[in-house]
Structure 1
Amino acid sequence: MVRGRPSEMNRVAIAAWCLFDWASSAWPTVVMSFVFAAYVTREVAPNSDVGTAWWGTGTAVAGVVIALVSPVVGAIADRAGPRKPWVAGFLVVTVAMAAALFTIRPEPGYLLQAVILAGIGGAAFEIGQVFYNAMLADVAPRHMLGRVSGWAWATGYAGGLACLGTCLGLLVLPAQPLLPLDPETAEPVRATGIVVAVWFAVFALPFLLLTPDRPARDQPFGRTAREGVAQLRRSLADLRRRYRRIAHFLIARMIYTDGLNTLFAFGGVYAAGTFDMGFRDILMFGIAMNVAAGIGAFGFAWVDDWLGSKRTIVISLFGLMLFGGAALLVRTPTGLYVAGCALGTFVGPVQAASRSLMSRITPDAVRTEMFGLYAMSGKITAFAGPAVVGWVTYLAGSQRAGMATLLGFFLVGLALLWPLKPAVDMGEPKPA
């Protein structure tokens, strides 16, 4: 095989693996970000403050479940062998929850049901990602980990936006939806859950059918589970010694991911409060940032394999701080659009390169388990960013001051990541 070019079989597996990102991104984009979250908080809840509190609580509880469950099921999967059955199982749960969202009528009595369905679906989605991410090193040649991770992440942004465009164009925005749905009971909006369910299920099929997987171990599941939990205990006990570099990276990622997650959560709030943007303007701003993030993930995919995963993350964090600062200084919506899109260009690369770096430094025998810890590191302190932004905004009486704290998360994450020296097994080029 020529270096840098996968075989024909690998091309099929890589394409199918990337397409899963296209399929799965429908859930976070349509349900958790743009459509259903807004519907629940604005039309199902008695008022937006109550809706935001309930939705935020449900998301927080789901985050705790993800943090606690992901390492355990990851460790069990490493002992069991195949990863795709786990992906398929959590996919089924996510799809079922998405379809069930159609039952949520615009009445306060449905608020708890909406939060429970979204919470279960969100937890299942994130836990399923543990097994999907762990398969990167099985699908992509080592010298292409950065490109494949970046291509998949860019494909995910495109898939999420394509599903969103389908939902908006056919159901939500037209005065007369394509299907005979009743706007009085918000059926066009509720039907977006069914679109997400079908989208996810259909486009995930190539991944389930065409990507390679590990063979199953011939032993009872109970024994496999006990071995997996025991292995997780040993790994946690040895994390600072045997897996010290992984622990170091996960701590750094935990901090800068808090900044990223809070940026996603408060970006629309900042645009509305500081620049007086309406719903449609915020929607277009969010779409523009997602397009920029997808372009960045795709373009930096080559940088990841050329300069290394760690250096790609470092460059991206510098970019986030630079253009994040610009977004805090601009005074017009146009300026925010420009700064926001430039900022978005570095959001995709830092996420994609973090996944490829984790794949590079993790031993195969515990890869799914470690990706469980990777998922945990993205959730365990997820309360910190929103809390800091909220309280600083309140005490300073300024959204700009609150959002400025995100630069601190990126700076601390960068400072923690910096001491990790470039090495071949971290995806960095050999020193000259």
Structure 2
Amino acid sequence: MLAWCLYDVGLAAFNTVIVTFVFPVYFAKAIWGDETSGSAAWGFAMGAAGIAVAILSPVVGAIADQQRRVKPFLIFFGSIVAAASAGLWFALPDRSNAIWVLLVVGASAVAFELAFLFYNALLPRLAPPAKLGRLSGWGWSCAYLGGIACLALALVGFVQPQQAWFGLSHDKAEHIRATTLLVAAWYLVFTLPLLLILREGKPALSIGAAARKGMARLRATLREARSEPNLWRFLLASALYRDGLATVFAMGGLYAAGTFGMAFDKVVLLAIGLNIAAGIGAILFAWLDDFLGSKPTVRLSLIGLIATGVPLLLVEDTTMFVVFALALSLFVGPTQAASRSLLVRLSPPERTAELFGLYGLTGRAFTFLGPFSFSLATTATGSQRVGMSVVVAFFVLGWALLETVRVQRSG
């Protein structure tokens, strides 16, 4: 269980530094050269990555279920994340680099999501049903702590000082680009324990046979949707509110820099605070998950996200923006963790990876809409505030559909 949680620590570095807070701001300001249109370009890239994940996640999930192995997939997709992160060191601050940077970031985001799919599928192997909520919450808490530690290291060693570590200069943004190398190293160090400890038998089927059988099982699952409406209502509900969360993750740093004029070091400090708040929320609500249940925990978290998200769209003062952003972050971790444990509770054990694949499919089938909607609205109006308004809409729609879900094991 410790190695499983440490894997989340490794994942967090990529999510916080590359996807959300540091590299997107660098891309918009230094590579693209305009924060508003640069954030729109970033949003389109994240949306395209979401479409790719929507197509691939159920396929690879079904194959993994038939092979009864996840380790090879963790190694393969994790290696892509690490290599792509390191490759972003070569992203010099020039508009001519924008296209290949967006392609690399998009590919690494796809690999990250697929690695996360198989990481999630390990959850029911590690804890009995009565402790699923706690372990899921602890995993998210470790992720936020990992994000805090990596961001703090990036801030102290590279972003903030006049003279960065290893003699890196501010010329050509070496001190910012070095954070991508930090992410690659961090990812490898913290994901390695799980890969070394995890023991799996020989594959039950070859890749080809597993693909054929897995796809047949996936087609059957889709045909059986009418017989499991409860599970599918949850998948759709979670897809909607996860779309809102994905937009926050993809655009949060850009929103802080573009709308409130926050500098690199201030964005990183904000990110550290947000991860602390999210980690606290995940820890507190992990116990609530097992005590009240996953659905009530998700419901309370969504209400909190809506109540804090609306003011974030309206405030003009930077201090108030930070206050409401920290408040919103308290509910991010519980939403993610309780949704993960709720899916496990609703899923037949023998189909966990397949259904996490569908979880990824339904999520990404909608999640690309968030960044796309942000980019379209921002481009049309020239206002990131208008673009971010889609977040609250997805939270409300997801909550409404969640209320139709009955918590009982499907199948």
RMSD: 2.4
- 1:283 equivalenced with 2:268 (yes/no): yes
What's the counterpart of residue 300 of structure 1? 285
1:410 is paired with a residue whose SS is helix
Shift in CA distance, 262/221, structure 1 to aligned 2, threshold 3 Å: closer
- 1:251 equivalenced with 2:236 (yes/no): yes
Paired letter, 1:257:
R
| Equivalent residues, number | 410
**Higher deviation after alignment, 156-165 or 263-272:** 263-272
What's the counterpart of residue 211 of structure 2? 225
| Alignment deviations for residues 134-183 of structure 1 (CA, whole Å, 9 cap, x no partner) | 11011112111000001110110111221122122112221112203343
- 1:23 equivalenced with 2:23 (yes/no): no
Shift in CA distance, 177/321, structure 1 to aligned 2, threshold 3 Å: same
Q: Distance in 1 between matches of 2:78 and 2:188?
A: 8
Q: Distance in 2 between matches of 1:419 and 1:295?
A: 29
Q: 2:301, 2:335 within 8 Å by CA — same for their partners in 1?
A: yes
What's the counterpart of residue 89 of structure 1? 76
Q: Match for 2:161 among 174, 185, 195? A: 174
Q: Distance in 1 between matches of 2:236 and 2:324?
A: 28
Q: Give the drift of 1:333.
A: 2.7
Shift in CA distance, 258/199, structure 1 to aligned 2, threshold 3 Å: same
Q: Distance in 1 between matches of 2:26 and 2:318?
A: 25
- 1:200 equivalenced with 2:197 (yes/no): no
What's the counterpart of residue 296 of structure 2? 311
Compute the TM-score of the two structures, normalised by the length of structure 1. 0.87
Q: Distance in 1 between matches of 2:130 and 2:312?
A: 36
Shift in CA distance, 400/221, structure 1 to aligned 2, threshold 3 Å: closer
Q: Match for 1:119 among 106, 110, 130? A: 106
Q: Distance in 2 between matches of 1:244 and 1:109?
A: 49
What's the counterpart of residue 234 of structure 1? 220
Higher-helix-fraction structure = 2
Q: Give the drift of 1:109.
A: 2.7
1:420 is paired with a residue whose SS is coil
Q: Distance in 2 between matches of 1:239 and 1:319?
A: 31
**Higher deviation after alignment, 335-344 or 272-281:** 272-281
**Higher deviation after alignment, 122-131 or 157-166:** 157-166
Q: Distance in 1 between matches of 2:231 and 2:300?
A: 20
Shift in CA distance, 391/58, structure 1 to aligned 2, threshold 3 Å: closer
Paired letter, 2:44:
T
Shift in CA distance, 231/263, structure 1 to aligned 2, threshold 3 Å: same
- 1:110 equivalenced with 2:105 (yes/no): no
| Alignment deviations for residues 207-235 of structure 1 (CA, whole Å, 9 cap, x no partner) | 1122454x334443221221111111111
Shift in CA distance, 412/72, structure 1 to aligned 2, threshold 3 Å: same
Q: Match for 1:376 among 330, 344, 361? A: 361
Q: Give the drift of 1:49.
A: 5.0
Q: 1:138, 1:212 within 8 Å by CA — same for their partners in 2?
A: no
Shift in CA distance, 408/40, structure 1 to aligned 2, threshold 3 Å: closer
Shift in CA distance, 272/31, structure 1 to aligned 2, threshold 3 Å: closer
Shift in CA distance, 99/268, structure 1 to aligned 2, threshold 3 Å: closer
**Higher deviation after alignment, 376-385 or 363-372:** 376-385
What's the counterpart of residue 183 of structure 1? 170
| Alignment deviations for residues 277-317 of structure 1 (CA, whole Å, 9 cap, x no partner) | 44444433333222111110111101011111111000111
Unaligned runs of 5+ in 2: none
User: Which entry has the higher C-alpha Rg, 1 or 2?
Assistant: 1
What's the counterpart of residue 247 of structure 2? 262
Q: 1:17, 1:211 within 8 Å by CA — same for their partners in 2?
A: no
Q: Give the drift of 1:64.
A: 1.2
Paired letter, 1:85:
P
Paired letter, 2:170:
P
1:378 is paired with a residue whose SS is helix
Paired letter, 2:224:
D
What's the counterpart of residue 364 of structure 1? 349
Unaligned runs of 5+ in 1: 1-13, 427-432
What's the counterpart of residue 4 of structure 1? none
Q: 1:134, 1:368 within 8 Å by CA — same for their partners in 2?
A: yes
Q: Give the drift of 1:255.
A: 1.1
Compute the TM-score of the two structures, normalised by the length of structure 2. 0.92
What's the counterpart of residue 338 of structure 1? 323
Paired letter, 2:213:
E
Shift in CA distance, 336/33, structure 1 to aligned 2, threshold 3 Å: same
What's the counterpart of residue 7 of structure 1? none
Q: Distance in 2 between matches of 1:258 and 1:116?
A: 21
Shift in CA distance, 305/394, structure 1 to aligned 2, threshold 3 Å: same
Q: Distance in 1 between matches of 2:167 and 2:27?
A: 22
Q: 1:139, 1:212 within 8 Å by CA — same for their partners in 2?
A: no
1:118 is paired with a residue whose SS is helix
What's the counterpart of residue 156 of structure 1? 143
Shift in CA distance, 283/126, structure 1 to aligned 2, threshold 3 Å: same
Q: Percent identity?
A: 42
Paired letter, 2:145:
A
Q: Match for 1:67 among 54, 63, 68? A: 54
